[in-house]
Amino acid sequence: MPWDRNQMAARAAKELKDGFYVNLGIGIPTLVANYIPEGVDVTLQSENGMLGMGPFPYDDEVDPDLINAGKQTITELRRTSYFSSADSFGMIRGGHIDLLILGAMEVSEKGDLANWMIPGKMVKGMGGAMDLVAGVKRVVVVMDHASKSGEPKLLHECALPLTGKQVVDMVISNLGVFEIDRGKGMTLIELADGVTLDEVKAQTEADFKVALR
């Protein structure tokens, strides 16, 4: 059985290490916060200017001055600090954030990432994605293995305009986990329970080595 959204998020949470400062993208990556392992203390960064992001507020706690990068209302914690967008991206670009978990439309075997633009469609903008993939120490992509129409998303080269070149370190899909040696190539290291290597090969355009753990 391929992993569902929550299982993918739970697998991504295994990449968290004690003491990490982490930025989570919108969608499945947001769910990772629900699976932080016992005994692992992580601080979530929100690129609009906050470290130490708490859970969503109760109805009577909602504060319009307190939102995350997805513009959702959130809460603060005792460890929270606030800062400007310039300081926020200073800590991102300066390599102070340990881990970024985000979604993608396409990833290449060399670690290129495309997730902000489909030519011919209305483009909403890259937001902070280009800064995050360029600056965060380790970049993990969580995405479905194939598009809704069944097209592979792990490719030799991305067809869509890039968000970053040679920036991805790991891809967690609904079929398994790949490690990427940036600029060199990718290796399948895990299969989702009951998924076979042949199934993965059938849905992958990218070349990859196999070193299952």
Partner 1 sequence: MEKTFKDARSALDGLLFDGMTIMAGGFGLCGIPENLILAIRDSGVKNLTVISNNAGVDGFGLGMLLNTRKVKKMISSYVGENKEFERQYLSGELELEFNPQGTLAERCRAGGAGVPAFYTKTGVGTLIAEGKEHKVFNGETYIMETGLVADLSIVKAWKGDPQGNLVYRKTARNFNPMMATAGKTTVAEVEEIVELGSLDPDCIHTAGIFVQRLIQGEHEKRIEQRTVRQRETV
The answer to whether 131 and 23 have CB atoms below 8 angstroms apart is: no
Q: How many chain residues interact with partner 1 (CB under 8 A)?
A: 53
> Rounded to the nearest 5°, which phi and psi values hold at 180?
-120, 125
Q: Give the torsion sign (CA, 30, 31, 34, 36).
A: negative
In angstroms, what is the minimal distance from the CB of 125 to partner 1?
4
DSSP letters, 127-181, are TTHHHHHHHSSEEEEE--SB-TTS-BSEESS-SSPPSBSS---EEE-SSEEEEEE
Question: Residues 14, 48, 52, 190: which binds partner 1 (CB under 8 A)?
Answer: 48
CB closer to partner 1 out of 124 and 213: 124
Question: Residues 24, 50, 105, 146: which binds partner 1 (CB under 8 A)?
Answer: 50
Please choose, from the candidates 134, 174, 136, 135, the residue with its C-alpha nearest in 3D space to the C-alpha of residue 154.
174
Verify binding: residue 45, partner 1, rule CB under 8 A.
no
Verify binding: residue 120, partner 1, rule CB under 8 A.
no
Out of 47, 61, 151, 179, pick the active-site residue: 47
Site string for partner 1, 164-193 (x = CB under 8 A): xxx---------------------------
Q: Check if 47 is active-site.
A: yes
> Rounded to the nearest 5°, which phi and psi values hold at 177?
-125, 135
Verify binding: residue 59, partner 1, rule CB under 8 A.
yes
In angstroms, what is the minimal distance from the CB of 167 to partner 1?
9
Verify binding: residue 118, partner 1, rule CB under 8 A.
no
- Give the footprint of partner 1 on residues 79-108 (CB under 8 A): 82-86, 88-90, 92-93
Joined together, the tokens standing for residue 170 give: 């790991």
CB closer to partner 1 out of 2 and 164: 164
Q: Hunting for tokens 């881990």 — which residue is that?
A: 99
Task: Put residue 91 in one of left, alpha, beta given phi > 0 → left and psi -120 to 50 → alpha.
Answer: alpha
Amino acid, single-letter form, for residue 5:
R
Active-site annotation, residues: 47
Binding site for partner 1 (CB under 8 A): 46-50, 55-59, 62-68, 70-74, 76, 82-86, 88-90, 92-93, 112, 117, 122-131, 134-135, 161-166
